[in-house]
């Protein structure tokens, strides 16, 4: 490993001069600077992150917090899409992104301890168990935080506009003649699921429609959707003419279940999803759904985090940043 001392020795100047030159300080003459840069390049010099960070106390790194317990995480395309956009944005600014871990060598650490250990600049919380004690500690630590799609209070949040999306769905269904709209909600440990359910009730209420046909899916996946639909048909005597599902996966499960029960989609019952995952465009029938803007959510989250890191005014306010959604009408609604 070649260090600034090696360079200094070779040139015959002080290491401090080399350091300044490499950092483009104006305390070094242009000729000297050129010489040092040339030698550095020739010797294959690469700075040492740990030394630099130790000295500057600026780590240029951002932590990503995925909760392990919920089994949605990296593997869920929605979150991985957000992460991808987030990562692209901050890396372009020169930050590195690291997963926050609970272990260092053989030692176990809390999230906050890990952040201190790494001297992290900021942290993105993606999915999380809201009741995790370790999170409180983190939140109160003053470390810049932004969260995505979570229900953490007192933390700057970026999330799809579930209210707008739900309203669009309901009003669209009504405009197409729906009289009896049901909702397959997502699991209530998910904040978005709660919001969508709440919005569902609110909007139907405003139109003086009954919003009681609701069943909670155990999970966000296909199978949970299928099961939830079956449960709904067992629990209610009435048959809805439209179903608003809290996610695309759930909606696809619902459609299959309806087919199994002998209903036609959309002729007998319309189905709407939420997410706009790639495949829904190609299923049969293709799915009417609410598109979430993963890229925008990830990018927005990145911007808000960076603003906090740079201590811009108001950056740290626990404001919920709602990202617009879009209703994509396809074949699953009549």
Structure token pair of residue 174: 């009504």
Q: Beta strands of the chain (E only): which ranges? A: 61-66, 96-99, 103-104, 107-108, 122-127, 145-148, 157-160, 181-185, 214-216, 242-245, 270-275, 288-291, 320-323, 326-328
Note whether 38 binds a copy of itself by CB under 8 A: no
Q: Which does 4 bind (CB under 5 to 8 A by kind): a copy of itself, DNA, none?
A: DNA
Angle, helices 77-92 vs 294-309, to 10°: value is 40
281 binds, among DNA, a copy of itself, none (CB under 5 to 8 A by kind): a copy of itself
Q: Which residues are bridge partners to 323 per DSSP?
A: 160
- In the set 12, 31, 41, 106, which binds a copy of itself (CB under 8 A)? 106
Residue 79 zone, left/alpha/beta (φ > 0; ψ -120 to 50; rest): alpha
Which lies closer to a copy of itself via its Cβ, residue 54 or residue 329? 54
Q: How far is the CB of 9 from a copy of itself (least distance, A)?
A: 20
Q: DSSP 3-state assignment of 10?
A: helix
Per the omega criterion (within 30 degrees of 0), is the bond before 312 cis? no
3-state secondary structure of 284: coil
Question: Is-contact 324 293, C-beta < 8 A?
Answer: yes
Which of 14, 38, 104, 329 contacts a copy of itself by CB under 8 A? 104
Residue 42-81 contact track with a copy of itself, rule CB under 8 A, x = bound = ----xxxxxx-xx----xxx------x----xxx-x--xx
CA–CA distance, 62 with 306 (Å, rounded to integer): 10
Complex with DNA: residue 31 or 131, whichever CB lies closer:
31
Smallest gap from Cβ 50 to a copy of itself, in A, equals: 4
Positions that interact with a copy of itself (CB under 8 A): 1, 46-51, 53-54, 59-61, 68, 73-75, 77, 80-81, 83-84, 87-88, 91-99, 101-107, 109, 113, 116-119, 221-223, 226, 249, 252-253, 256, 259, 278-279, 281-284
Q: Which residues bind DNA (CB under 7 A)?
A: 1, 3-5, 12-17, 19-20, 22-23, 26-32, 45-48, 51-52, 54-57
């Amino acid at each position: 490993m070649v260090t600034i001392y090696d360079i200094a020795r070779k040139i015959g100047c002080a290491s401090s001069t080399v350091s300044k030159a490499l950092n483009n300080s104006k305390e070094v003459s242009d000729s000297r600077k050129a010489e040092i840069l040339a030698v550095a390049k020739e010797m294959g010099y690469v700075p040492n992150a740990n030394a630099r960070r130790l000295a500057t106390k600026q780590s240029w790194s951002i932590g990503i917090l995925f909760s392990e317990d919920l089994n949605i995480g990296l593997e869920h395309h929605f979150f991985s899409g957000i992460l991808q956009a987030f990562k692209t944005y901050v890396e372009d600014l020169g930050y590195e992104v690291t997963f926050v871990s609970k272990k260092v060598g053989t030692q176990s650490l809390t999230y906050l301890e890990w952040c201190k250990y790494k001297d992290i600049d900021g942290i993105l919380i993606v999915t999380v168990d809201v009741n995790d004690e370790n999170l409180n500690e983190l939140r109160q630590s003053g470390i810049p935080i932004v969260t995505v799609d979570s229900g953490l209070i007192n933390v700057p949040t970026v999330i799809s506009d579930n209210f707008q999306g739900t309203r669009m769905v309901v009003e669209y269904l009504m405009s197409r003649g729906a009289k009896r709209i049901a909702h397959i909600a997502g699991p209530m440990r998910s904040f978005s699921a709660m919001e969508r359910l709440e919005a569902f009730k609110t909007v139907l209420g405003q139109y003086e429609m009954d919003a009681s046909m609701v069943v909670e899916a155990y999970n966000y996946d296909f199978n949970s959707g299928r099961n939830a639909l079956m449960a709904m048909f067992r629990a209610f005597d009435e048959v809805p003419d439209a179903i608003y599902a809290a996610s695309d996966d759930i909606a696809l499960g619902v459609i299959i279940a309806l087919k199994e029960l002998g209903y036609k989609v959309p002729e007998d019952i319309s189905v709407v999803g939420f997410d706009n995952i790639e495949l829904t465009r190609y299923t049969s029938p293709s799915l009417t759904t609410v598109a979430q803007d993963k890229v925008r959510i990830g990018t927005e989250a990145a911007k808000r985090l960076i603003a906090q890191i740079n201590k811009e005014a108001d950056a740290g306010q626990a404001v919920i940043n709602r990202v617009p959604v879009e209703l994509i009408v396809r074949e699953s609604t009549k």
